[in-house]
Structure 1
Amino acid sequence: MRTWGGEQVEQAVAGAVALLRTATDRDWDGAGAGRLDWSCRRTAEHIASDLLAYAGQLAGRAQGAYVPFEITLDEGTGNADVLDVIETTGALLAAAVRTTPPGVRAFHPYPFRSANREGFAAMGVTEVLLHTHDIAEGLGLTYEPPTELCEDVLARLFPHVQPGSAPWPTLLWATGRGDLSGRPPVTEWRWSNPPAVPAGRLTLEGVTPAAARDLHAGGDGGFLWVEDGPYESTRDAAGMTVKAYEAGVNRPEWGMFVLVRQEDGRAVGGMGFHGVPDEEGRAEVGYDLAVSARGHGYATEALRALSAWALARGDARMLIASVDRHNVPSQRVVSRAGFVAVREDEEEISYELRP
């Protein structure tokens, strides 16, 4: 999977600044920015502020809260100067993204209290795209960012939104900035960075639709795998995530996770749910490991951690797992993780875990 982040931040900033430089002689303070309550000038300053904040969070490895600083522009700063600041803060974010290791996460509140380097890049790109749209509306300019950028941020920050055939109108609709045929208006919204669940020697990294699409197509999904990974069923599970995303029913907390070994950052397997809990509160879990990673207790550690995390959310009242009768190692994994056998037939044994 191609490295995503710094280049896309620079691309978004360059396109926004190029358009807005054509209107620096206008009254940005007196013009409202689209549907926002802010002026165009205030919105431009907000872009720069967010880019710097994201760079600071990521570079400083902030944990638990925002780093307590903000940007202040000098008195007398003109519209063109604000665009210089946006270019500068965009470059800072791009640099922070490029120099941050893939496993590092820093604080961001929505919705799982952290984001990785790709997440901060995607948030920065989204801020630039959306608020350039707001300013352009206020100044009477025409703005349409590259389709691929819009598609990328949807597949990274909006895993719950059905993508549709037109990424830019879909992104505007998903953020309350436009209408989309056949879909109700959006009045409240938040993006969604993928979750990360600590599991002893592992971290369970949530898989975005973008990563799932690459995995299903034979790529690495942005993960550094052990030599014989990913296993075939991991790619199959990624395909299920892609289908759920395209149908608009994907929920990252009930989706797919990749098991990343903390000692060397290598991915050793996949684990996750077959979908959201059903009407009875049951959610089915599945997993696999690369052959070289088996026999080390990784699956048990991961299943214990993911089960505890999922049941603590309150969405599910029971987790279930189906294991082939002849797969004794997998039966041992679910049993050690606390699951209890409740039914069996000639092919499978069904297990349950309750809070």
Structure 2
Amino acid sequence: MRSMGGEQVEEAVAGAVALLRTAVDRDWEGVRAGRLEWSCRYAAEHVAGDLIAYAGQLAGRATTAYVPFEITLDDGTGNEDLLHVVETTGALLAAAVRTTPREVRAFHPYPFRSANREGFAAMGVAEVLLHTHDIAEGLGLSYEPPAGLCADVLTRLFPHVRPGEDPWRTLLWATGRGELPGRAPVTEWRWRNNLVIPAGRLTLQGVTPAAATDLAAGGDGGFAWIEGGPFQGTRDAAAMALKAYEAGTHRPEWGVFVLVRREDGRAVGGMGFHGAPDDDGRVEVGYDLAEAARGNGYATEGLRALSAWALDREEVTSVFATTEPDNAASQAVLTRAGFGRVAVVPEDGAGAGQYAYELRR
């Protein structure tokens, strides 16, 4: 899987600075940055401020709020020197991303109040790409970043947005900066870092479209798996999530999660929903573990946490699961997690002949 890290931050910053350096002799203060209410000068300062803030979140391991500091430029700082500041803060974010362990999550408000190093790298890249576009538009410059960088941002921060043939145009549309044929204009937007749910000895880490693409293709999805993982069921679930993403129907909080051990950061299995809750408020779950992880209670802990999270949502009235009649281990997991057997799925329905279990609010 193509990683999202320091290299991508540096690539985005280098491209932006190279373009803007051609216009350092222009008046940035008196020119509006694209559709924003900001000047081009302020937009560039904002980029530097965000890059250093994201680096500070990771380096400081902030978990409840932003680290309370901000960047201030010396009086008389010119446009060329401002670009040097952008380069410097970009280098600091790249360094922070490279040196932060994968399992570390730091505070960011949208939408689940945390992000890992990959999320902060993606947000930093997004800030650079989008505001360079704004500044370039204001100054009359032509700017189009690499499609790969744009796709990296979309598959990590915009899992709810149907991808298009042109990742850059799709990213501009998704952030209210452009139009796409057949799609309504965007007037409000937020990016979406992946959801992580604590589960005792585990964390349930939401699978992004980038990770789902890799898992479905036989990769590790960016996770460090124990021997024998991931199990085929996890790959199949990732393929379902990827299909929903490509169709523009993916709701990431109702997608796939990887079960990761807290003690060593190793992935042991997959768990997740078959889709969003239906009209009756019922949502279906499925799960599997790598064989080497079985018999340790991981599936029970994960299922309890995921079910509790779901039942805490207003649109959910029950969590539903099916299992084969001869799968005693799966039935034991469901029972220990509080589910009760409710029926045998009719022979003419999907999952015919399976046992059905349910946990109600």
- Normalising by the smaller structure, the TM-score range is over 0.9
Residues in 2 aligned to 1:308 and 1:32: alpha-carbon distance in whole angstroms: 48
- Cross-structure match for 1:208: 208
State the one-letter code of the partner of 1:281.
Answer: G
2:188 corresponds to: 188
SS in 2 for 1:152: helix
CA contact (8 A) 2:155 2:210 kept: yes
Per the alignment, residue 140 of structure 1 pairs with: 140
Helix, strand or coil: the match of 2:257?
A: strand
1:224 corresponds to which letter in structure 2?
A
Match of 1:197 in 2: 197
Structure 1 equivalent of residue 357 of structure 2: 351
- 1:159 is matched with 159
> After TM superposition, where is structure 1 displaced by more than 4 Å over at least 4 residues in a row?
none
User: Partners of 2:275 and 2:47 in 1: how far apart?
Assistant: 36
* Residues 28-107 of structure 1: pairs in structure 2 closer than 5 A: 28-107=28-107
RMSD of aligned residue pairs (Cα, Å): 0.8
Q: Secondary structure in 2 aligned to 1:351?
A: strand
In structure 2, distance between residues paired with 1:156 and 1:194: 8
SS at match of 1:95: helix
CA deviation after TM superposition for structure 1 residue 131, in Å: 0.2
Give the match's secondary structure for 1:205.
strand
Q: Aligned partners of 1:301, 1:321: CA distance in 2, in Å?
A: 16
Matched letter for residue 359 of structure 2? L
Using the aligned pairs only, state the percent identity: 74
**One-letter code of the match for 2:210?**
A
Q: Distance in 1 between matches of 2:70 and 2:63?
A: 17
For each residue in 1:8-50, what CA deviation from the matched residue of structure 2 results, as whole angstroms up to 9, or x when unmatched? 0000000000000000011100000000000000000000000
Q: Give the C-alpha shift of residue 3 in structure 1.
A: 3.3
Number of positions where the alignment pairs a residue of Structure 1 with one of Structure 2: 355
Aligned residue for 1:43, secondary structure, equals: helix
Q: Tell me the alpha carbon deviations over residues 226-273 of structure 1, each in whole angstroms, 9 at most, x when there is no partner.
A: 011000111111100100100001111100000001111100000000
Q: Does 1:295 align with 2:301?
A: no
Work out whether residues 122 and 156 of structure 2, in 8 Å CA contact, stay in contact via their aligned partners in 1. Answer: yes
The residue aligned with 2:228 is: 228
**1:351 Cα deviation after fit:** 1.0
Q: State the one-letter code of the partner of 2:339.
A: F
- Say yes or no: does 1:262 pair with 2:262: yes
Shift of 1:296: 0.5
SS at match of 1:330: helix
Aligned-pair distance for 1:124? Answer: 0.2
Offset, 1:114: 0.2
Q: Distance in 1 between matches of 2:315 and 2:81?
A: 49
**1:50 alignment partner, SS class:** helix
| Rounded Cα–Cα distance in structure 2 between residues aligned with 1:118 and 1:128 | 15
Which letter does structure 2 place at the counterpart of 1:53? A
Corresponding letter in the other structure for 1:317: T
The CA deviation at 1:183 is: 0.2
SS at match of 2:259: strand
* TM-fit CA distance, 1:279: 1.2
Question: 1:2/1:154 Cα in 2 relative to 1: closer, same or farther (>3 Å)?
Answer: closer
Indicate conservation of the 8 Å contact 2:274/2:283, yes or no. yes
* Aligned residues of 2:4 and 2:152 also touching (Cα < 8 A): no
2:14, 2:83 → 1: CA distance? Answer: 10
Shift of 1:315: 2.7
Could you tell me how far apart the structure 2 residues matched to 1:307 and 1:225 are?
A: 24
Normalized against structure 1, the TM-score is what? 0.99
Matches of 1:233 and 1:158, distance apart in 2:
25
Q: CA deviation at 1:317?
A: 1.5
Alignment of 1:243-254 (within 5 A): 243-254=243-254
Cα distance in 1 for partners of 2:2, 2:110 equals: 25
Q: What TM-score, normalized to structure 2?
A: 0.97
Residue 165 of structure 1 and its aligned partner are, at CA, apart by: 0.8
Unaligned runs of 5+ in 2: 348-352
The one-letter code matched in structure 2 to 1:3 is S
State the SS of the aligned residue for 1:268. strand
Q: Name the residue aligned to 2:10.
A: 10
Q: Is the 2:54–2:120 Cα contact (8 Å) retained in structure 1?
A: yes
| Residue 114, structure 1, aligned to residue 114, structure 2 | yes
Counterpart code for 1:94: A
Q: Deviations over 1:51-92 (max 9, x none)?
A: 000000011110111110000000000011110000000000
Q: Tell me how far apart the structure 1 counterparts of residues 45 and 173 of structure 2 sit (CA, whole Å).
A: 24
Q: Deviations over 1:91-142 (max 9, x none)?
A: 0000000000101000001000100000000000000000000000000000
Whether 1:330 aligns to 2:342 is: no
2:350 match: none
5+ residue gaps, structure 1 = none
1:297-312 matches, within 5 Å, as 297-312=297-312
Q: How far, CA to CA, are the matches of 1:3 and 1:321 in structure 2?
A: 34
